[in-house]
């Protein structure tokens, strides 16, 4: 017999969330995540676990960065896309870049799109194996010239370069027969602020700003607004109000980042989840939420569970009758703790509890399974789980 302890997952049947899925991620505290696309895609069990996690939380879009694997491991990526499709999740190829002011770098981005999306989609026979959309994470705000601009005119010029890059990429898709494939992009929430209101981009006036957002909407089907510095639903709604209600004609989704822990924006996952759900209530699930990213999300959930549900508690008992084998399972080993299973034939005698097995969690971002196989004699026996502080 296997005795397990499980916990409920909130199921968002009406939710419409997206998630960024990078090749690798450094977690809060500096450890490397075990939930990057390099770890997950190609491992059937990890793929299934990710899809179960996402579907339980109402995710309908994955923005996946796979480096050159759509070329070097075409069959693996095709099979992954088909799994997502079977789960009702769109697979959007995520391409990143910064130097939108350098035509050679834009051409390099286009070369990646040609190899990883156009040729890939042309090669796989099953439509379920193809990428459903292109997702661009082009961030000129990461350039030194952006930071060095004290006036805002350089930043304004870079946004024109960004709009030009969007247009060139759309023409590339259209010329290859993929003009109907939706193209999405990530934008910073602060770009819409006018200089008179303290904005750092030298918009000539509101019409100039409105025209830029309307213009990129000619080629972009939607935008994800990066609001990773906002820690409450009200501020998130205010920060994205222009994008959601202004001149951009496509879909707009608010992005949130579940970095949790000491010194992070969110102390724990409960805080993040509360504000995320409030935002979705306030502005509607069609406009919220995109989660940045899967690795942070898994880490936040894993480290956000209680160390124990209610302190050391009996999790199983075996009551005589000829004995046998019992497998005692603890499915809630939280990252960063040592768990012990103790055994006792009479819980009314606390001095009789003795440790029979222990497990120190290894992964920084996983809730681990811990089990102990016991031979049960004809008498009664009880087991409980506890936590031992690590030095």
Mean pLDDT computed over 317-346: 82
What is the 8-class DSSP label of residue 115?
I
Q: What is the pLDDT of residues 277-292, one digit of tens each?
A: 999 999 999 999 999 9
Mean pLDDT computed over 46-70: 98
Greatest C-alpha distance within the chain? 86
From first CA to last CA, the distance across the chain in angstroms is 35
Q: What is the pLDDT of residues 140-187, one digit of tens each?
A: 999 999 999 999 999 999 999 999 999 999 999 999 999 999 999 999
**At residue 329, does pLDDT exceed 50?**
yes
Looking only at the bridges linking them, the beta strands covering 324-333 and 368-376 are: antiparallel
Q: Are 118 and 74 in contact (CB under 8 A)?
A: no
- The sheet with strand 338-344 has its strands ordered as 313-319, 380-388, 338-344, 354-360
Q: What is the pLDDT of residue 180?
A: 96
Q: What is the pLDDT of residues 369-385, one digit of tens each?
A: 988 988 777 777 888 99
Q: What is the pLDDT of residue 7?
A: 32
Pick the closest to residue 133 from 165, 181, 171, 94 (CA basis). 181
Q: What is the pLDDT of residue 1?
A: 25
- Would you call 338 helix, strand, or coil by DSSP? strand
- Residue 135 dihedral angles phi and psi, to the nearest 5°: -120, 120
Q: What is the pLDDT of residue 104?
A: 98
Q: What is the pLDDT of residues 46-57, one digit of tens each?
A: 999 999 999 999
- Would you call 290 helix, strand, or coil by DSSP? strand
Confidence of residue 10 (pLDDT cuts 50, 70, 90): very low
Q: Are 104 and 145 in contact (CB under 8 A)?
A: no
Confidence of residue 312 (pLDDT cuts 50, 70, 90): low
Report the distance separating Cα 291 and Cα 299, nearest Å.
13
Confidence of residue 311 (pLDDT cuts 50, 70, 90): low
Report the distance separating Cα 249 and Cα 7, nearest Å.
42
Q: What is the pLDDT of residues 188-220, one digit of tens each?
A: 999 999 999 999 999 999 999 999 999 999 999
Pick the closest to residue 327 from 376, 381, 371, 377 (CA basis). 371
Domains with residue ranges and CATH for the chain: 8-304 (3.20.20.80), 313-388 (no CATH)
Confidence of residue 6 (pLDDT cuts 50, 70, 90): very low
Give 319's contacts (C-beta < 8 A, 6+ positions apart).
380
Q: What is the pLDDT of residues 236-253, one digit of tens each?
A: 999 999 999 999 999 999
- Would you call 276 helix, strand, or coil by DSSP? helix
Exposure on the CB side of residue 65, measured as CA atoms within 13 A: 19
- Would you call 76 helix, strand, or coil by DSSP? helix
Pick the closest to residue 70 from 156, 3, 130 (CA basis). 130
- Residue 180 dihedral angles phi and psi, to the nearest 5°: -85, -5
Q: What is the pLDDT of residue 381?
A: 86
Report the distance separating Cα 304 and Cα 259, nearest Å.
11
- Residue 266 dihedral angles phi and psi, to the nearest 5°: -115, 130
The residue whose two tokens read 């690798």 is 24
Q: What is the pLDDT of residue 322?
A: 53
Q: What is the pLDDT of residue 313?
A: 67
Q: pTM of whole model > 0.75?
A: yes
């Amino acid at each position: 017999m296997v005795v397990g302890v499980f916990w409920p997952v909130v199921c968002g049947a009406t939710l419409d969330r997206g998630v960024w899925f990078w090749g690798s991620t450094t977690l809060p505290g500096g450890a490397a995540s075990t939930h990057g696309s390099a770890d997950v895609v190609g491992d059937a069990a990890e793929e299934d676990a990710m899809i179960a996690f996402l579907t339980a939380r109402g995710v309908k879009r994955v923005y996946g960065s796979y480096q050159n694997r759509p070329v070097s491991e075409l069959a693996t990526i095709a099979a992954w896309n088909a799994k997502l499709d079977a789960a009702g999740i769109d697979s959007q190829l995520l391409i990143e870049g910064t130097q939108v002011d350098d035509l050679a770098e834009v051409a390099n981005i286009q070369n990646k799109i040609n190899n990883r999306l156009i040729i890939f989609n042309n090669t796989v026979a099953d439509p379920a194996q193809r990428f459903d959309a292109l997702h661009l994470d082009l961030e000129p705000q990461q350039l030194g010239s952006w930071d060095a601009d004290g006036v805002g005119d350089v930043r304004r010029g870079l946004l024109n370069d960004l709009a030009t890059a969007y247009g060139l990429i759309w023409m590339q898709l259209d010329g290859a027969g993929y003009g109907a494939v939706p193209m999405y992009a990530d934008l910073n929430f602060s770009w819409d602020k006018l200089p008179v209101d303290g904005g750092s981009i030298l918009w000539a006036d509101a019409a100039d700003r409105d025209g830029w957002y309307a213009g990129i909407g000619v080629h972009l089907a939607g935008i994800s607004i990066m609001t990773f510095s906002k820690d409450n639903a009200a501020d998130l709604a205010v920060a994205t109000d222009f994008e959601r209600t202004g001149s951009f004609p496509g879909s707009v989704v608010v992005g949130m980042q579940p970095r949790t822990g000491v010194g992070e924006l969110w102390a724990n996952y409960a805080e993040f989840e509360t504000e995320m759900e409030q935002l979705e209530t306030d502005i509607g699930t069609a406009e919220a939420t995109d989660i940045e990213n899967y690795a942070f999300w898994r880490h936040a959930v894993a480290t956000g569970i209680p160390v124990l549900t209610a302190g050391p508690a009996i999790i199983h008992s075996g009551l005589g009758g000829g004995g046998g084998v019992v497998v005692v399972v603890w499915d809630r080993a939280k990252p960063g703790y040592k768990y012990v299973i103790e055994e006792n034939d009479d819980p009314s005698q606390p001095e009789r509890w003795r440790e029979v097995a222990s497990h120190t969690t290894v992964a920084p971002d996983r809730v681990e399974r811990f089990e102990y196989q016991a031979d049960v004699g004809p008498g009664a026996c009880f087991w409980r789980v506890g936590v031992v502080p690590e030095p």
